[in-house]
Amino acid sequence: MSFNFTGPTPRSRSILAGLALVAVLAVALVAGTADATAGGGLGTGSDTRSGNGNATPSKYKRLWGKVHRKDKRWARRVAQCESGRDPDAVALNGRYRGAFMFTRDAWKTSPKSPGGDPIDFSYRTQAVVAVHLKKRDGTRPWPVCG
């Protein structure tokens, strides 16, 4: 038995092109969902968490609106470095949690913290807490990324 392979057929090329398009669209959809969840890092976008549906309390929306642009840039940079700006991130068997990799103790004792678990709150709420923690403690909680 002999096989004569002459390369991809026009039909197989179109199937591969379709699969590539689906993959690109899936990546874009995931990236768009992450930006909406994170509020685009600029205080715009959705206030609702994707996944568990918890809304950012209006208090944190107002507080985020009062954060200086320089602090918003700092928060975006640190969250990207720590977790890829994923508010649901968990590392080291749950020791570090949220977009800013808070320890549970740091989260609970931070200024403006709503308590509970950081991953139960949106990026915007976590960012407000991180900015206020930075004002109190400096960048010490983020020795590599701060």
d(CA 119, CA 86): 9
Residue 55 backbone phi and psi in degrees, to 5? -90, 150
Q: What is the pLDDT of residue 15?
A: 57
3-class DSSP assignment, residue 108: helix
Say which residues have a Cβ less than 8 Å from residue 81's Cβ, sequence separation at least 6: 142, 144, 145
d(CA 13, CA 91): 41
Q: What is the pLDDT of residue 57?
A: 72
The DSSP string of 48-89 is BPTTT-PBPPHHHHHHHHHS-HHHHHHHHHHHHHHHSS-TT-
- What is the identity of the amino acid at 28? A
Q: What is the pLDDT of residue 4?
A: 54
Binned average pLDDT, 10 residues per bin, the chain of 146 residues = 56 52 46 42 39 62 95 98 97 96 95 95 96 96 93
Q: What is the pLDDT of residue 53?
A: 43
Q: What is the pLDDT of residue 65?
A: 93
Residue 41: Cβ within 10 Å count = 20
3-class DSSP assignment, residue 141: coil
Contact 78, 144 (CB under 8 A): no
Q: Is 1.10.530 the CATH classification of the domain at 51-137? A: yes
How far is C-alpha 110 from the geometric centre of its chain's CA atoms? 20
